[in-house]
Structure 1
Amino acid sequence: MKLVGALAASVALFIGSAASAKDLSLSYFMGPKHPMNGAVFTPFAEKLAEVSGGEMTVTQFAGGALNSAPPKQYSILLDGVADVAFHLPGYTAQLFPIATSVTTPNMCDTAVDCTEAMWRAYDVIENEFDAKILALWANSPQVLFSKDTAIRTLEDLDGKIVRVTSAQDIPFTEALGASAVSQPVSVINQNLANGVVDVVSIDPSAALSFKLHEPTNYITVGVPGAGSAFILLMNKGVYGGLSDQEKAWVDEASGKWLSMQGAKAYDAIAQKALDVSAKNGVDIINLSDEEAARWDAAIQPAMDAWMASEVGQGLTGADVTKLMQGN
């Protein structure tokens, strides 16, 4: 596994020559120590090298080396800047309304559960992407990180600016009395510290992956929500240009087994992140059952509207829910 951390003028030429040698460029905007490298990116590369007998390899371009704007990961894949790219569908939720439906409140309970839900809907999710899906997984349901205000009751959210992962989350967050804004994960630490946002809604792992526990004084657990979608994609032209044998190698090195590794990693790190945050002085607030019921009641009108709406491909929110929950 080669890790390339710098982008120079020769990168385009390098990628071209590497691709012809069956070396795939893999782009992601996080650092190489991010848990998803160890859980998904590196295992994909290692498995591909193993099954191909070293005939196909992967070169990582970490830390935004090929693209410093996380929402543009899908675009650079389509443009051929990278052969393989990690993307958060929530950044471009209008393009992937079914994939991002996994974040609908109470759709699923854990990262593994949410990943299973997306795989039940794999056929329709696949139709949303003009690329080969290598892995499709989710993180743990979100918690609320706040700096100046402890979010203990519904009233504590009134008028607060809350960063959400996906546009899918906006109507539910605003039904709680807050103002929702969608921002890339790369800016959430700074924006919470500087007061650009009052609250960050994200899965617990962000406490460690993006050091979000540092500007945070309070974490509220048990709020209505579910996991967010993650995807590892391969340029369709690159995949189509492979021989049948090479495609078989890529298929064997990817798929549901790889996706579940990402999900299990998120479930494992969620509690660890909360424990580390608590040890660093962050107050962990668990909503009572009574208070959680108040939040569920507040979002019910938004939930009803989403269930009745057409999400995509002729499916309503209710249809997607049935598909993801296996009903």
Structure 2
Amino acid sequence: MSFRYLGVLGIALSVVASAFVAATSVNAAPRVTIKYAHCCPPDHTYGVYAHQFADKVKEKSNGEIVVEVLDGGVMGTEQAIAQKVQLGTVQMGGITSNNVAQLAPSLNVLVLPYMNDSPDDLTGDGGLLRSGAFRDELNKRVLGESGSLRVIGGFTNSFRSLFAKDKCISTIDDLQGLKIRAPKNPVMTAMWESWDVSTYPIAWGETFGAVATGVVDSFDSPTDVILNMGFHEHIKYITEATYLPLAAVVVINNDFFNGLSADDQKVILEAAEEVDIAHAEYVKENVARVRKALTEDHGVTFCELEDPEVWAEKARGAWPQLYELVGGGKDWVDTTVRYKETGSLE
């Protein structure tokens, strides 16, 4: 056997061994497992974020960190999930901000009506939920109020739209005479009252039946609900307004996070930041897809508001009675408005 042959054989064996080591390192049992809970099915906007994040963490850590996504509300309501993350029973959650606000009232600033005009105000460059000075301050407040919740990301399911069975809602006067379902939420109640409307506080699980039987003939929610849950059988008119976004925060238990190595923390934070950006693009594409399907496949009509400034003026007029629900009160609201206008917290 020649020395040349032995040399080639050695190189070949070295390459095989390196490939084997690389493969086994990727497929080895993870060093860290993170449970991430959320409300919805995996193909829902919240589920899409969760699985994008899980995939990104696995990629960045070479499989050493695994995010176990708990879909479909298996850990309970969003408020229950927030409490579980606070206690560390579940390490992470992607949760609508008003449902985390029970533990960290500063988050209520995100759901004041007409605080934001578009999803970009939250998830675009410089948005309130994007990595930056505002979210750093928000995180500091949330951590102080909750004791253990750290905000590392954020996303939306666009804005709540207005739905009706029998007519377009094009002006504020069109609300009169409608039987409107709305959550029993003090912020939303104050908003509807500012428009001189009394709503029906029907539980979400009963809403489809209430619409089908005529108990109510209107409600609001993200537009994809109409398509994904079959409401298009009864709802034929949609007004895409911009009074209230579905703003969600990605939270992690702070003690768990602090127990990770600096490298692992970097993986988690970078993954969240990249998915925040990618998911915002997904939401834009999904809004267009849903609108197209509802229009072309289900005969739904999309309506335009003719007097949006009237809606905004009246709803913002309700802010003073809502300051007490916001951690930091009027000062934190004013700081948020100033940041949106100037990009500065000062």
Q: What TM-score results when the alignment is normalised by the length of structure 2? A: 0.75
From 65, 79, 91, the counterpart of 2:74: 65
1:121 maps to what in 2? 134
Preserved contact between residue 152 and residue 250 of structure 2 (Cα < 8 Å) = yes
Bigger proportion of residues as helix: 2
Q: Which residue of structure 2 aligns with residue 9 of structure 1? A: none
1:312 and 2:327 are equivalent in the alignment: yes
Output the CA distance in 1 between the equivalents of 2:202 and 2:87: 23
* Matched residue type, 1:128: V
In the TM superposition, residue 132 of structure 1 has moved relative to its aligned partner by 2.6
* Shift in Å, 1:230: 0.5
Q: CA deviation at 1:56?
A: 0.8
Equivalent in 157, 166, 188 of residue 175 of structure 2: 157
Is contact 2:92-2:253 (8 Å) kept? yes
Structure 1 CA distance for aligned equivalents of residues 332 and 57 of structure 2:
38
The Cα shift of 1:212 comes to 3.7
Query: Which among 259, 274, 277 is matched to residue 291 of structure 2?
Result: 274
Q: Give the whole-Å Cα distance in 2 for the aligned partners of 1:310 and 1:73.
A: 21
Return the offset for 1:30.
0.8
| Mapping for residues 7-26 of structure 1, pairs under 5 Å | 21-26=31-36
Partner of 1:205: 224
Question: What does 1:35-54 correspond to in 2, within 5 Å?
Answer: 35-38=45-48, 40-54=49-63
Q: Deviations over 1:154-213 (max 9, x none)?
A: 233236334259643332222112234677766654453355544322232333344443
Report the alpha carbon displacement of residue 318 of structure 1 after superposing the two structures with TM.
Answer: 2.9
Deviation at 1:63, TM superposition (A): 1.2
Distance in 2, matches of 1:267 and 1:118, equals 16
1:110–1:226: 8 Å Cα contact kept in structure 2? no
CA contact (8 A) 1:139 1:203 kept: yes
User: Which residue of structure 1 lines up, in the alignment, with residue 5 of structure 2?
Assistant: none
Pair 1:90 & 2:98 matched: yes
Comparing 141-150 and 52-61, the one that deviates more: 141-150
In 2: Cα distance, 1:74 partner to 1:194 partner: 34
Say if 1:37 and 1:307 are closer, same or farther in 2 by CA, change over 3 A: closer
TM-score w.r.t. structure 1 length? 0.78
Decide which structure has the larger Cα Rg and report it: 2
Corresponding residue number in structure 1 for 2:301: 283
Cα 1:310–1:31 change in 2 (3 A) is: closer
Identity of aligned residues (%): 22
User: CA distance change for structure 1 residues 66 and 46 in 2, over 3 Å: closer, same or farther?
Assistant: same
Deviation for aligned residue 1:122: 0.8
**In structure 1, what is the Cα distance between the partners aligned to 2:128 and 2:250?**
17
CA contact (8 A) 2:39 2:71 kept: yes
SS of the residue 1:317 aligns to: helix
**Matched positions, count:** 302
Distance 1:98 1:285 in 2: 34
Q: Deviations over 1:98-157 (max 9, x none)?
A: 433233343333222322133452123212243232321233232201225542332332
Question: For structure 2, which runs of at least 5 residues remain unmatched after alignment?
Answer: 1-28
- Tell me which amino acid in the other structure corresponds to 2:69: Q
1:215 to 221, 225, 234: 234
1:264 counterpart (272, 276, 281): 281
RMSD of the alignment, in Å? 3.1
Give the SS at the match of 1:118.
Answer: coil
Q: 1:166 to 1:134 in 2, by over 3 A?
A: farther
**1:79 maps to which residue?**
87
Give the conservation status (yes or no) of the 8 Å contact 1:145–1:220.
yes
SS, match of residue 168 in structure 1: helix
In structure 2, what residue type is equivalent to 1:241?
A: G
2:37 matched to which residue of 1? 27
Letter in 2 for 1:134: I
Q: Give the match for residue 13 of structure 1.
A: none
Distance 2:338 2:206 in 1: 35
Measure, in 2, the Cα distance between the counterparts of 1:182 and 1:122: 32
Cα 1:88–1:229 shift into 2, 3 Å: same
Is residue 261 of structure 2 the alignment partner of residue 243 of structure 1? yes
The more displaced of 40-49 and 117-126 is: 117-126
Match of 1:213, SS state, is: helix
* Aligned counterparts of 2:271 and 2:71: Cα–Cα separation in 1: 20
